[in-house]
Amino acid sequence: MVSAASTVTVAVNSEAEALLKWKDSLYMPTNDLLSTWSGNSPCKWEGIQCDKSNSVSTIKLANYGLKGTLHTLNFSSFPNLLTLDINNNSFYGTIPPQIEIGMLTSLRYIDLSRNSLSGTIPKTIGNLSSLNILSLSENSLSGPIPNSLWNLSSLNLLYLNINRLSGSISTSIQNLVSLEVLLLRDNQLSGFIPYTIGNLTNLTYLYLGFNKLSGSIPPSIGNLVNLQALSFQKNNLSGTIPATIGNLKSLTILELSTNKFYGSIPQVLYNNTEWYSLLLSENDFTGHLPPQICSAGNLRYFNVQHNRLCGNVTGLMICATNHIQKRHKVNLLILFLILGALMLFLCGVAVSMYILCRKAKKKETHAKEKEEAGEVFSIWGHDGKIMFEKIIQATNNFDDKNLIGVGRQGYVYRAEFPLGQVYAVKKLHLETDGEKPNFKAFENEIRALTEIKHRNIIKLYGFCSHPQVSFLIYKFLEGGNLDQILSNDTKATAFDWEMRVNAIKGVANALSYMHHGCSPPIIHRDISSKNVLLDLQYEAYVSDFGTAKILKPGSHTWTSFAGTFGYAAPELAQTMEVTEKCDVFSFGVLSLEIMMGKHPGDLISSLLYSSSSTVAYNLLLIDVLDQRPPQPLRSIFGDIILVASMAFSCLRENPCSRPTMNQVAKNLMMEKSPIAKQLPVIKLGQLL
């Protein structure tokens, strides 16, 4: 008995010594970050967990801002290590095989992602026969994927995306029979997609995009009946879409854009009503595209441009790029109601309406624009005077009883028509001289919203412009804005965690498309809780584009301050240079506000900009969440952690260190936090 106890003590001391030696080699942003690391018993140290025998089982130091290498960590001192998680730090150098990471056969979880590691993936990783999760993504790893890795039959999640890996994908991939998620996107992989990939019948997510793969999609892809997302975009793939893809009944994301595919699109794809993202652009597809392709209720991303398809597809979920705008854009009908100065006081003044169009065939354009505007134009017709009068009647001459909101640029009124149709009308504020509204903001909003078409962006139907009265006509959203909901206890209680997460995802999708899906990009510049509207299903819509800026090539990005204090990026105070990263910062603030139920200004200051941030670092995430809605269910834990982590990354002081909105939107859509079960004990410092 004494001998056994002595053996345990020696082992624990060895583990403590190895950790302390490693700590001494690391750079830490604050001296007290790992202040608990002292003595001979590591089980109570921050980021360390032990098993029943007091042997180290978990090293979890994610998001700590650590900088150093793995060379000084003696892995052979941790025979019972199950989890190694040092993601989102600044570790550099190689993953050295001499540290015998391959000898830790009990390891089940390795996450070295979001660091600056380089070199090759060591072959010894293939010895980790118990490994369930391996994440090496977002580093600078190069060379081929070692063949030994394909022998990890217990692997559930494999993240190797966003590196510089080269070579081919081995046919031995068939050995990963337990694999559920495979992310190899954004590398330099070449060769064919192995037909043996069809043996991975547990796969739910398969991302091979942004590589140099060639050949065709193997018909065996149809064996992956549990697949929900399939992304092969931006490769050199060719051939036709195999008919077997129709076997994938759970598929909601299909991304094949920027390849060399040809032929017709299988009919079975048209019948799928569960599409979330369908991207087939920049190929050589031919044939007729039926309108029902857009009937999927969840469809948010749809792009088939730059093919040889024909058809009359309406209801597209995203705004097109400049190329498609020139060739296929369905132009919005923009109304100019030229009101005479005596219009407000005398009857009979003529009103003219000018229709803005870009196509030669006026009759065809007229029909398409009317369809685009929906019921608005079929109600009002094309007589500007009649339409103006109906607006006045529907708002009771802009009576305060119809007032539903006040924005930076104007008052928002509810306009209800005799047949029950309801719209939102924003009447612009008059300038201090009382004669004319702020036309610059007015024009900005029109210009931005005529370039955008997205599910999560407010829809503009038309406008009236005159020195004495100017207004914009929008889709009416019954839910009000986020600020109104979060400031009302009853509404905030009903605004549950799934709704909140979905609202955040909606805003992320809208901003991602504005920044990366529109050419030139559009920056909102005033993302705040007052400028995000909700419908009755709590779907989020970005609104109020009065300060929006279109980043045309060659134009300057310097500007006067625009935005809302508490949401505006800190660099605007010094440089006044507007970039997409300004919206990213505002999105981070908004995301935390939705999760906390109040503006997070004090928390952000204490966490990111205070010299004494230890208290805030040690706050539990669960404790800073809004306490009014019911406690989150376990099924949403992962989403909450992921949203919080992404929000903090958006708030980094250096704009270059913030993610793009494209990265944010994709991460929120694709990933689930692997530490979901730990929500009750997650500290804010672990998410930074």
Residues designated catalytic: 526
Roughly how many angstroms between the first and final C-alpha of the chain, as a whole number? 45
Inter-residue long-range contacts of 192-196, CB under 8 Å, 24+ positions, other chains counted? 192/168, 192/218, 193/169, 193/217, 193/218, 193/232, 193/237, 194/169, 194/170, 194/218, 195/171, 195/219, 195/220, 196/171, 196/172, 196/220
Burial 650-670 (b: 16+ CB within 10 A, else e): bbbeebeebbbbbbbbbbbbb
Q: Are the C-beta atoms of residues 530 and 483 closer than 8 Å to each other?
A: yes
Instruction: Please state, in angstroms and rounded to a whole number, the distance separating the CA atoms of residues 409 and 482.
Output: 18
Q: What is the dihedral of CA 462, 466, 468, 472, to 10 degrees?
A: 10
CA angle at 72 for the pair 71 and 74, rounded to the nearest 5°: 95
Question: How many Å separate Cα 180 from the centre of its chain?
Answer: 22
Query: What are the structure tokens assigned to 496, written together?
Result: 């549950």
Number of alpha carbons in the 13 Å side-chain half-sphere of residue 593:
24
Q: Are the C-beta atoms of residues 382 and 353 closer than 8 Å to each other?
A: yes
Residues with Cβ within 8 Å of 461's Cβ and at least 6 positions away in sequence, in order, are 373, 374, 376, 377, 423, 473, 474, 475
Instruction: Please state, in angstroms and rounded to a whole number, the distance separating the CA atoms of residues 15 and 35.
Output: 17
The conformational region for residue 434 under phi > 0 = left, psi -120 to 50 = alpha, else beta, is left
Alpha helices in 218-304 (DSSP H): 267-270
Q: Which amino acid is at 652?
A: R
3-state secondary structure of 222: helix
The radius of gyration of the chain's CA atoms, rounded to the nearest angstrom, is 28
Instruction: Please state, in angstroms and rounded to a whole number, the distance separating the CA atoms of residues 441 and 129.
Output: 61
Burial 412-433 (b: 16+ CB within 10 A, else e): bbbbebeeeeebbbbbbbbeee
Helix, strand, coil in percent for the chain, rounding step 5: 35, 20, 45
Q: Are the C-beta atoms of residues 596 and 537 closer than 8 Å to each other?
A: no
Instruction: Please state, in angstroms and rounded to a whole number, the distance separating the CA atoms of residues 184 and 660.
Output: 20
Residues with Cβ within 8 Å of 419's Cβ and at least 6 positions away in sequence, in order, are 379
